[in-house]
Amino acid sequence: MSSDHDWPPIPPMQTGLRGRCPRCGQGHLFEGFLKMRKTCEVCDLDYSFADPADGPAFFVICFGCVPSVLLGVWLEVQYSAPLWMHLLVTGPFMLLTCIPPLRPLKGWLVSSQFFYKAEEGKLVRRQVEPPLAPTQ
């Protein structure tokens, strides 16, 4: 197994959006659509550090679902569109703007965690030293 300093740093946009290993840029991040592999098949990087949590879903909601809802509201207000029109226009638009970006966004977040060496925050308390006794 090789260490991280044996590999040149690769920007997260180059590896994450393509679903590649953040260390070597050649191995795959995913087994299925969104399920992550345990390790890289090329450099054997352990992906247990990766925890994108709800990050991809948050970005998709902000940048995919909001325009879809606005399209649906605009169709309703402007044309009083029937339900079948919403199913034919708004439904596919929502699917196309919400599902395809999930995988690249998750890959980008995982690669960013590796690139910037992000880890869980820790609360460190410093010990307070007692005040010095006054000198006379």
Q: Which helix (H) or strand (E) holds 107?
A: helix 102-115
Express each pLDDT in 55-108 by its tens digit.
Answer: 999 999 998 889 999 999 999 999 999 999 999 999 999 999 999 999 999 999
d(CA 35, CA 60): 17
Asked whether residue 135 is assigned to any structural domain, the reply reads no
pLDDT computed for residue 44 by the predictor: 93
Asked whether residue 121 is assigned to any structural domain, the reply reads no
Asked whether residue 133 is assigned to any structural domain, the reply reads no
Domain count within the chain: 1
pLDDT band at residue 4 using 50, 70 and 90 as cut-offs: low
Asked whether residue 31 is assigned to any structural domain, the reply reads yes
pLDDT band at residue 5 using 50, 70 and 90 as cut-offs: low
Q: What is the pTM of this model?
A: 0.79
**How does DSSP classify residue 96?**
H
pLDDT computed for residue 119 by the predictor: 80
pLDDT band at residue 136 using 50, 70 and 90 as cut-offs: low
Asked whether residue 66 is assigned to any structural domain, the reply reads yes
Asked whether residue 58 is assigned to any structural domain, the reply reads yes
How wide is the angle at C-alpha 45 spanned by C-alphas 39 and 50, nearest 5°? 75
SS3 of 39, please? strand
Asked whether residue 125 is assigned to any structural domain, the reply reads no
pLDDT band at residue 135 using 50, 70 and 90 as cut-offs: confident
Asked whether residue 54 is assigned to any structural domain, the reply reads yes
Q: What domain range includes position 76?
A: 4-115
